[in-house]
Amino acid sequence: MSHRPPVDLRHALASLDPLPGELVRVATELPARYGVSAHYARWAGAPAAPPTGAGPAVLFDRVRPDHGPTRAVLMGLYGTRRRAAGLLGCTPAELPHRLLDAVAAPRPPVPASDASRWPRETLPVDLTALPVPVLTDEDAGPYLTLGAVLATDPDTGVRNLSVHRMCVQGLDSLTIWMVPGRDLELAYQASLRRGRPLPVAIHLGLSPAVLLSSCCPTSLVPPALDELAVAGALAGQPVELLPCATVDAEFIAHAEYVIEGELRADRAPESAHGTVATPEFLGYQGRAHPSLPLIQVTAITARERPILQAVSGPGHEQSVLLGFGMEAAVLDLLRRRGTPALAAHCHTAGGGQLMVVLQWPAKRGPEDDLAVRAAAEAVLEQFRMAKLALCVGEDVDIESDQDLWWAMVTRFQADQDLLVLPDREGFPLDPSQHTGYSPSLSADGRTAKAVFDCTVPYAQRARFHRPRFTEPSRPAPRRPAAPLPR
C-alpha cells in the first residue's frame, strides 16, 4: 500500500488492487435487501455469527435497490486492523500514535480550490432508489450504517463529523439515533432552541483519514476540535469542502454520495412494524427506539458511478473503526498519568470498545506490579464502555489471539491476578449488563469490570523466560580451490 494516505475512497481501493486477496470484486447482481449482507457474512468476522472470519474488502458491482438502477456497494474495507492501518501508511501499533499526533497538530479544512475536480450529478430525492443494504428480515428497514453526518453547532460555530445509525423511513426521510450528550445531539438541541432545524450533510463513501477521524471518541477529539482538522493532519493535506445546494451547510468534496437535509423537531418511531432495529456491533439484534428525530432530505448528489459504503453491523469492520480512536485515547490517558503503556489494543471481540489489551514494558522493580494494575483500573474507570482490561508483557504479540490466550493460561492465577470492580457504569447494548442477569447490579446498563493481570511479577521474572530459537551461525565463505599441480 502507498505510504501517502489516499485522497478519497477510490484511491484507497486502487491501492488494494495489486495486493493478493485484499479486494474481491463481485460482478453477480445481488439485491440490496438481504443479498449483500448474506454474501458478505463469511468475511464479516466476530462478533458476526459463525461461520465467519476476517476477510477482504468486497466491492459488489451490481446491487439492486427496491427500484431503480443497480449501483456499487463496498463492505469490509476496514475488515482487518492491518489493512485499515495500511491504508494510512502505518501498522496497527503505529496508528493510535498517528492519531495522537494529528489531534496535537490539526490541519483545518479548506474550500475546494477547483470544484470541477469533483464533478457530481444530482439524483432524484428518493432514498429507496439507493442500494442501501437490509441485513435481516426483522430489520426496521434499510440503514445507512456508515453515514457520516457533518453539521455546525450554531452556538459554538464548530463543525462535527460523526457516524450515526439512520433508517430510511420513506423517499425523503430518515430517523437518526444520536448518543445523548454527544456533539451532534448538542448542536441539534442548540438549533431547536433557536427555533430552526439543523442543516446537515450526510456522506457515504469517504477517504480513510476522514472516516477514521469521524469515529474518534470525545475523550480524544473534544467538542472544540473539528474532526475534519484531525483528518487533514492524518492525511497530510487539508480536507476540501464545497457548499451544499439546498441547505446552509458544507459537504466533503470527495464523498461518493452526499445527502443534504434538515434535522428537524419532528419525530417518528424507528420501526413501523415491530420492536427490532438492525444488528448491533456487539453481535446482538438491536432494539428499535419508539421515537427518534427525523431528517428531511432536500437533495442527493453523487459522483459518477458512485460507491455506497456500508458495514454489516456486527463484525470486524465496525470494531476496527471504533477501536483505533479508543486506543489513542487510552494511551493518552496513561501518558498523562505517568504510566505509559507500550501499546493498547481494543479487541474486535469487544466491538473495539469493551475489551482493552494493554502491553507493558519490562518491570523495573516490585512497585511496577502495583502500577500496572492501578493503570488498568484507571482505564476501566475512565472509559464507560471498557469492561475488561487484559495486561501483558512486551514479549506477547497483542495482535495474536493465540499469544493472548497463552499469556492468560501461563501467567494468570485467578486468586492473585484478577481485580474485580463491581457495579460500574457500563453499556446497555451488552445484554449481560442487566439486573436480570446479575442481581448485584444496581441498574440496567451497569456492569462488573475486571482486570486480568497477565504480566509477570517482578520477583518471579527469571522463571518466565520465553526462549527463542537460536539462529545458526553463517558458515565462513568458501575460498576458491587452489589449482591442481600439473
Residue 486 clears pLDDT 50, i.e. is over it: no
Lowest average pLDDT, out of 251-255, 288-292, 333-337, 471-475, goes to 471-475
**Average pLDDT for the chain:** 95
**Is the omega angle on the peptide bond into residue 340 within 30 degrees of 0, that is, cis?**
no
pLDDT value for 480: 57
pLDDT value for 473: 83
Residue 312: φ, ψ to 5° = -90, 10
pLDDT value for 318: 95
Average pLDDT over residues 456-467: 95
Band (364; pLDDT cuts 50, 70, 90):
very high
Q: How far is CA 315 from CA 87, 271, 453, in A?
A: 19, 23, 27
Residue 482 clears pLDDT 60, i.e. is over it: no
Average pLDDT over residues 105-115: 96
Q: What is the pLDDT of residues 188-227, one digit of tens each?
A: 999 999 999 999 999 999 999 999 999 999 999 999 999 9
pLDDT value for 341: 96
Band (485; pLDDT cuts 50, 70, 90):
very low
Residue 479 clears pLDDT 90, i.e. is over it: no
pLDDT value for 4: 75
Residue 231 clears pLDDT 70, i.e. is over it: yes
The grid coordinates of residue 186 equal 448538542
Percentage of the chain exceeding pLDDT 90: 93
Percentage of the chain exceeding pLDDT 70: 97
pLDDT value for 5: 87
> C-alpha angle 79/86/149, rounded to 5°?
60
Stronger pLDDT, 110 or 479, i.e. the higher one:
110
Residue 483 clears pLDDT 60, i.e. is over it: no
Burial of 57 (0-12, 13-18, 19+ CB in 10 A): buried
pLDDT value for 476: 61
Q: Cβ distance 337 to 375 under 8 Å?
A: yes
Residue 474 clears pLDDT 90, i.e. is over it: no
Q: Is 305 left (phi over 0), alpha (psi -120 to 50) or beta?
A: left
Q: What is the pLDDT of residues 308-326, one digit of tens each?
A: 999 998 999 999 999 999 9
Q: What's the CA gap between 66 and 70, in Å, rounded?
A: 10
Lowest average pLDDT, out of 300-309, 396-405, 425-434, 467-476, goes to 467-476
182-190 — which CB contacts under 8 Å span 24+ positions? Answer: 182/218, 183/153, 183/158, 183/218, 183/223, 184/149, 184/151, 184/160, 186/153, 186/223, 187/151, 187/152, 187/153, 187/154, 187/155, 187/160, 188/151, 188/263, 188/293, 190/153, 190/154, 190/155
The whole-model pTM stands at 0.93
